[in-house]
Structure 1
Amino acid sequence: MELIIAFTIGAVLGSFYNVLIHRLPRGMSIVHPPSHCPNCKTKIRWRDNIPILSYLLLKGRCRYCAHPIPLRYLLVELASGLLAVLCYLKWGLSYELLIFYFFFSALLVASVIDWETFLLPDSITLGGLVTGLVLSFFRRDISPWESFLGAALGGAFFLLIYLYYTRLRKVEGLGLGDVKLMAFIGSFTGLYGVAYAVGLGSVLGLLYAFPIILKNRNLQFVIPYGPFLSAGCFLGVMLDLKRFLVNF
């Protein structure tokens, strides 16, 4: 029952995350107007706004104009529900549960936005950075010094990579959004989280890009880096790789 409750709360919040994903890159208000079909502009009634269930009952289409609803809406709600369950299983009903669910939810929203638009909103990255630094004063698992050091070194490392590409090679190897994202990740997880994001994120990115390289037989393509950095950090934290690294 506890896991069902956790999943339900996560799925409900996932419905709100879909609002953020759609509206933040477009500079729209997240509270007005109410949820509506982007195609016919009809206001969505409560019965058509039940997470996961409504998408399945409507067969992925608007009730009024039959316009397809992107599969992303269902996937984000499912991901948010599963995220809540995983966080509950790892941290129980605790302060850490709330902190890490908020952190991973922000990474989820940022990753989907980056995947769709190649943008990482400052409201998430910089807002998350400030939040991570402030929360470090009230956490038991990380000190303010560790939070600040993780944010500073995570952001600085990627800033150097950004400057190398833009100033020396005259191309954009990665964006400033990735720099801010790494500072955000470091503020919540310290240097270990930065290591997870860079190490595991690079491996995941390479696994995704390798088939594209083989198909196109060149390196002239662009993929968003944010989702892979976020996934790397998520895996490292959930698998508790800090213990492995410390013992190693």
Structure 2
Amino acid sequence: MFEYVLLFVIGSVLGSFYNVLIYRIPRGMSIIRPGSSCPKCGSSIKFYDNIPIISYLILRGRCRYCGEKISLRYPVVEFLSGALACLSYYKWGATFEAFVYFVFFSLLLILSFIDWQTFTLPDSLTLGGLAFGLITSFFRHDLRFPESLLGSLLGGGLFLAIYLFYVKVRKMEGLGFGDVKLMAFIGSVGGPWAVIFSVSLGSILGLLYAIPIILKHRSFDFVIPYGPFLSLGAFLGLVFKDYLLSIF
């Protein structure tokens, strides 16, 4: 129990940093300086007001100085990051693979929130993640470099073909080029199976989300980010891989 508590604390602290990335990277801001401050009044956030999850609850989700409402995203990301740390340890133990998957899931978490808010997937994270996946495959036991390379080519190549079809044939952008790089990243860490899970489960989840919107507005004229659903599909597929493969 102590190990899981410690991992959750470490994960939630990292989640606090993930919130910095989610807010600053799309805005082109430095992720190091200046320190955290209230977006409305500019007051610096003291260390005791920056304790993951706890500070949000104590402050009741508002800035101590101006009372501006603090987005619920902050404690949610911190909680999810702590949960991912525990999950990675529970499923893969104290192994290098657990570290790889925790980093992988963390990047997917960050990318999902950025994409949901801005409809962008920063190259620094997708291409950085792709390099991470390919490099770490040399040291893993569950996925070798050829599988990592194949996964990245399959994921990136499939979505590149879809992207080019929409742009060249239908003269419209059916999906963003960031999704191409995201799928290459997913394939580099999870291999071909991760690509399959990401596309299949992600499409189902995206459809389930879109159906109520379609029924409510009786129109297909709306846009939703695809990245969060692809990421969630990859996450669910890799965590429940053995169970899903046993079904099919």
Q: Deviations over 1:188-228 (max 9, x none)?
A: 01100000100000000001001001111111100000000
Offset of 1:244 from its aligned partner?
Answer: 4.6
Residue 137 of structure 2 aligns to a residue whose secondary structure is helix
> Is 1:180 aligned with 2:181?
yes
Offset of 1:246 from its aligned partner?
Answer: 7.5
Cα distance, 1:75–1:25 mapped onto 2, change above 3 Å:
same
Cα RMSD (Å) of the superposition? 1.2
Offset of 1:84 from its aligned partner?
Answer: 1.0
**Identity %, equivalent residues:** 60
Q: Name the counterpart of 2:161.
A: 160
> Is 1:138 aligned with 2:156?
no
Please say which of residues 220-229 and 76-85 is displaced more in the overlay.
76-85
Offset of 1:3 from its aligned partner?
Answer: 1.3
Q: Name the counterpart of 1:203.
A: 204
Q: Contact between 2:53 and 2:78, CA under 8 Å: does it hold in 1?
A: yes
Offset of 1:245 from its aligned partner?
Answer: 3.3
Q: Name the counterpart of 1:61.
A: 62
Q: Which amino acid aligns with 2:190?
A: T
Q: Name the counterpart of 1:117.
A: 118
Distance 2:162 2:93 in 1: 38
Q: Contact between 2:22 and 2:113, CA under 8 Å: does it hold in 1?
A: yes
Q: Which amino acid aligns with 1:196?
A: F
Q: Name the counterpart of 1:245.
A: 245
Q: Which amino acid aligns with 2:245?
A: L
After superposition, where does 1:16-95 map in structure 2 within 5 Å? 16-95=17-96
Distance 1:41 1:63 in 2: 12
Residue 78 of structure 1 aligns to a residue whose secondary structure is helix
Q: Contact between 2:56 and 2:75, CA under 8 Å: does it hold in 1?
A: yes
Q: Which amino acid aligns with 2:32?
A: V
Q: Name the counterpart of 1:236.
A: 237
* TM norm structure 1: 0.97
Q: Name the counterpart of 2:9.
A: 8
Is there any run of 5+ residues in structure 1 with no aligned partner, and where? none
* TM norm structure 2: 0.97
Q: Deviations over 1:117-150 (max 9, x none)?
A: 0000001000100111111111111111100010
Q: Contact between 2:237 and 2:244, CA under 8 Å: does it hold in 1?
A: no
Q: Contact between 2:126 and 2:185, CA under 8 Å: does it hold in 1?
A: yes
Q: Name the counterpart of 2:128.
A: 127
Distance 1:154 1:146 in 2: 12
Q: Contact between 2:36 and 2:44, CA under 8 Å: does it hold in 1?
A: yes
Q: Name the counterpart of 1:218.
A: 219
Distance 2:211 2:85 in 1: 32
- Extract structure 1 runs of 4+ deviating beyond 4 A: none
> Is 1:99 aligned with 2:94?
no
Distance 1:6 1:233 in 2: 23
Is there any run of 5+ residues in structure 2 with no aligned partner, and where? none
Distance 2:155 2:58 in 1: 44
Q: Which amino acid aligns with 1:231?
A: L
Offset of 1:167 from its aligned partner?
Answer: 1.3
Offset of 1:247 from its aligned partner?
Answer: 8.2
Residue 142 of structure 2 aligns to a residue whose secondary structure is coil
Distance 2:36 2:23 in 1: 11
- What count of residue pairs does the alignment treat as equivalent? 247
Residue 15 of structure 1 aligns to a residue whose secondary structure is helix
Offset of 1:161 from its aligned partner?
Answer: 0.7
